[in-house]
Structure 1
Amino acid sequence: MNDILIPALLGLIEGITEFLPISSTGHLLIAEHWLGRRSDVFNVVIQAGAILAVVLIYRERLWRLATGFAQAENRDYALKLMTAFLITGVLGFLATRLGFKLPESIVPVAWALIVGGLWMIAAEWFAAKQPDRSAITWRVAVLVGLAQVVAAIFPGTSRSAATIFVALLAGTSNRAAATEFAFLVGIPTMFAASGYELLKSMKNGSSAHEDWSALAIAFAVSLITAFVAVKWLLGYIRTHRFTPFAIYRIVFGVALLLMLPAAA
């Protein structure tokens, strides 16, 4: 039963937390503390399920961008997505090669959750005082690309939280527009990162020992739950702020720090 239940539970956690601004890393870290450490291939596969869910949700938007590149508005938006992705790719590669990444352990993740939660509250307060702007500027694109690098270096920051709130602060004060750009730029970014990790695992031979049935279950659960979670979030933010997520992050981060003696 555990061969089905544990992969399904981890897929559920990944699907719910990957695109909500609450950090999938922090939640999976705790889950793996109780359920056992999973392989890099496993984590890549469940993340791929969550990414595919976003592709399905935005499939019409992506199709319009791909087929309407000749139109100035679509071309401008697509080029800004590409710019953010390239900034993340180049700087992320350099950060990886130079070893600029904190370990995925409880203390740095907990503090990233707490600091990120406080920052979210401040950023939302500031954005609420700005005129409602849906346009994605070049400044937003560049800063979103940089935010993805920061989120990769500091596990627990949450890629979605970093990118959404940077966009809000940089001039896209409309929550729906900021979230859409953050999610769309996350598609190539996360697929590239997942592909890199998968190729690395195949090269060192670790993928040959995977339980592909468990991976299939985790992938399917992650896909379904991420689809539901993102659809819910897109509806929620039309009339609500992100403040409850920020409060949850702070409480969760404090709880992780309090767990340290028990986890030791």
Structure 2
Amino acid sequence: MTTLISERLTLTIANRTLCRGLNAEFNPGENWVILGANGSGKTTLLHALAGLREPDQGLAALDGVPVGRIPHRQRARRLGVLFQDFNSEFPATVLETVLTGRYPRLERWQWESTEDSQAAEAALDAVGLTGFAHRSLATLSGGERRRVDIAALLAQDAPICLMDEPTNHLDLRHQIQILGLLSARSDRPGHFNVFVLHDINLAVRFGSHGIMLFDDGQYLCGSLPTIIERTNLERLYHCRLREVRSDGTPWYLPD
């Protein structure tokens, strides 16, 4: 069983501790959500879990091996990352961009196969971009461009997905559709997700577990029902909140 852990993980930046001694275990079937105010270290933590940033102390390990020590191609076959922002400096079509998700599965100098193209087309269909394959990235809206990046992540088909604000640029309909699509991946054997989200209510709806990053390196970690409550959220975001319940589900609004 594939397991990702953080063990005594400590991260600092600019002489500020973002998290201190974080112990967490991410297992198949789970949808983890990282919550925190702006600048709390959510992206930095996600990058550490992906092996893209060396922890100041402790480690992030995949099946007992520090993630950063796993060869890049091997790591990318097991772990996919969706970054917060996209880069469109080079001209490319939608299909070319989504096919980059297949590169970890290719050998050196190997061209994409029919199977790879079919996987890319299926990913585009899943995010509602059927017929966009030959469009230039430069012609897309921000929301469409975001869904292209998510399609590339789906085409990569890694069992672990670490996603930094996947709802960026998406309207309400697509936020629900895309998070439903992504969270459903955890139903597949060996699959799980870690999301960075700003919307508490989306976290409650789609998450199973969570990490709250407070000031000065403090954190809460566990199943969402055990950590999501108004007092913790007000401490997290430094503002008053109103809790409203509908059919037993809590919803949080600024007060």
TM-score normalised over the length of structure 2: 0.30
Please state which structure has a larger fraction of its residues in helix. Answer: 1
- The one of the two structures with greater contact order (alpha-carbon pairs below 8 A, sep at least 6) is 1
Q: With structure 1 as the length reference, what TM-score do the two structures score?
A: 0.30
Larger strand percent: 2
